Amino acid sequence: MKDIATDELFTKEDATAAIILAKKKAGLKWEEIAAKIGMNPVWTHSACMGMNAFPQDKAEAIVALLSLPAEAVDALTESPTKIWEQAVPTDPCIYRFYEIVGVYGPTLKALIEEEFGNGIMSAIDFDMSVTRVPNPKGDRVKVEMSGKYLAYNAW
């Protein structure tokens, strides 16, 4: 049995750091990694960053693909604790998503409620894709999100 007092545990943060380093060394893109393990690139990146738990077979696949330590499998399959900074980020790309939600959040909520009723769009039963759309004025970023509708319950 492992002596927790003396052995260091391989954490989700350790797995993320190992993945980023291995990805960089291998010269792979997220789309390539996702294709090789049979997952969506958005979900793959999120799970690699510790925000989702890999199924056992996918954790084993990414560990093998990137030659990560075997201990990474356990860390990658653990349920995440989704804690992130609540301050507005300074990264320009991430800030723009905050801006979109700040400006259009109430509109999205109103349109969802008009179409579906009083409820929310799930971020758990959720799909997302990011694609390039050629445009003569400059290529555009297309972000598509699809989440299961969840009605509020009265109990």
Asked if 43 and 36 touch (Cβ cutoff 8 Å), the reply is no
Asked if 58 and 39 touch (Cβ cutoff 8 Å), the reply is yes
Pick the catalytic residue from 96, 140, 144, 146: 96
Cα–Cα nearest to 18, from 71, 97, 61? 71
Q: Which residues pair with 141 in a beta bridge?
A: 132
82-100 burial, b at 16+ Cβ within 10 Å, e below that, comes to: eeeeeeeeeeeeeeeeeee
Q: Measuring CA to CA, how many Å separate 119 from each of 96, 98, 113? A: 25, 21, 7
Pick the catalytic residue from 13, 67, 113, 122: 122
Pick the catalytic residue from 99, 113, 129, 140: 99
Catalytic residue list contains 60? no
Cα–Cα nearest to 78, from 9, 4, 2? 9
Catalytic residue list contains 99? yes
Contacts of 141 (CB under 8 A, 6+ apart): 130, 131, 132, 133
Catalytic residue list contains 122? yes
Catalytic residues: 96, 99, 122
